[in-house]
Structure 1
Amino acid sequence: MSAKLPFTPNPETDLVLERTVDVPPEWVWAAWTNPEHLKHWFCPRPWSVAECKIDLRPGGVFRTVMKSPQGELMPAGDGCILALEENRRLVWTSAMEPDFRPVESGEDAFLFTAHILIEPDGAGTRYVAIAMHPDEKGRQKHEQMGFHEGWGTALDQLVEYMQSRAS
């Protein structure tokens, strides 16, 4: 890791995507925290975001509903924002609903905590996304779902979208 992280990721349970992107930290923050921006880049195309709700406060909701190319809706659940520091860090989890209420964790539950870490790097941003899972099985499932490719493609789309707004 080249970015200074607030903790050491556990390779058995955590997935990490780290890159430098050619947009300022404020743009990355806006893309992650404004539902109208997030809808344009969050899902790798040809998927899209049909619905997004973000209540930007600890205990607030982080909710997205994805839409397949065939029109099938896939709710991602009502996650809970755990922590935020403007233009630096956004942390949310699928293990809680808004207001820190625990979710029921049945056999099919897909629980993880996401850390989006943003820091200035020249005219761009050092971007680190970490998905923490309760166990190795959860990490493997997320990896097999295409974490690196999917989250990497979404990041490319974030940069493309935010740059297009500036021109």
Structure 2
Amino acid sequence: MNETVTVVVQRVMPAPPEVVFDEWLDPEALEEWMCPNPVRVVDVTVEARVGGTVRFDVDDSGTSVLISGQFLTIDRPRLLRFTWSNSNWEDPTRASIVNVTFDPVGTDETLMSIEHSLLPTSEFESFHGGWIATFEQLAARLESAVP
């Protein structure tokens, strides 16, 4: 049976929606904040169009992992949706779905919410903790960029 789980994480980011949204499509930015440390992104491909590729080559403590997917929705600055597959999953062809929303809070903050669905059940803890840590890293990057 192919049971799946959904991970939901939210955090207020210290920047307006346009700025936070653009971080998701900037390969240099993604190398810096995507994936929880000590896992490192060593290469990023982003074809920012519906049907375009999103790909992260990741070094997980010496193990190479390929994360790949396709953009389903790009609605700047409100919504980003893409598929996500991991080369180290039991079934590496299995696609999960990442849904990221960006809601303005006041004048210069954003409530960023992620809903990562269709994940293999065994991956819940890893992704729940992973997205929380990844959001922390993005928040820290945005804070350091505030003038």
Q: TM-score, normalised by structure 2?
A: 0.84
Query: 1:125 is matched by which residue type in structure 2?
Result: T
Residue 82 of structure 1 aligns to a residue whose secondary structure is strand
2:112 maps to 1:130: no
Q: What residue ranges of structure 1 are gaps of 5+ in the alignment?
A: 1-11, 96-105
Give the corresponding residue for 1:89.
79
Alignment of 1:150-161 (within 5 A): 150-161=130-141
1:143 to 115, 124, 140: 124
Give the letter for the 2:20 counterpart: V
| Structure 1 segments (4+ residues) deviating >4 Å | none
CA distance in 2, matches of 1:55, 1:34: 10
Residue 95 of structure 2 aligns with which residue?
Answer: 111
| Partners of 2:61 and 2:122 in 1: CA distance | 23
Identity %: 26
CA contact (8 A) 2:6 2:124 kept: no
Contact persistence 1:30–1:37 (CA under 8 A): no
Which structure has the greater CA radius of gyration? 1
- In structure 2, the gaps of 5 or more residues are none
Distance across 1 between alignment mates of 2:115 and 2:44: 21
Q: Does 1:60 align with 2:52?
A: yes
CA distance in structure 2 between the partners assigned to 1:163 and 1:154 by the alignment: 14
Q: Which has the higher strand share?
A: 2
Query: Aligned equivalents of 2:110 and 2:48: distance in 1?
Result: 21
User: In structure 2, how many angstroms separate the alpha carbons of the residues matched to 1:15 and 1:23?
Assistant: 24
Distance 2:91 2:9 in 1: 25
Q: CA RMSD in A?
A: 2.0
Residue pair 1:83, 1:91 contacting (<8 A) in 2 also: yes
Give yes or no for contact 2:13–2:20 (8 Å, CA) kept in 1.
no
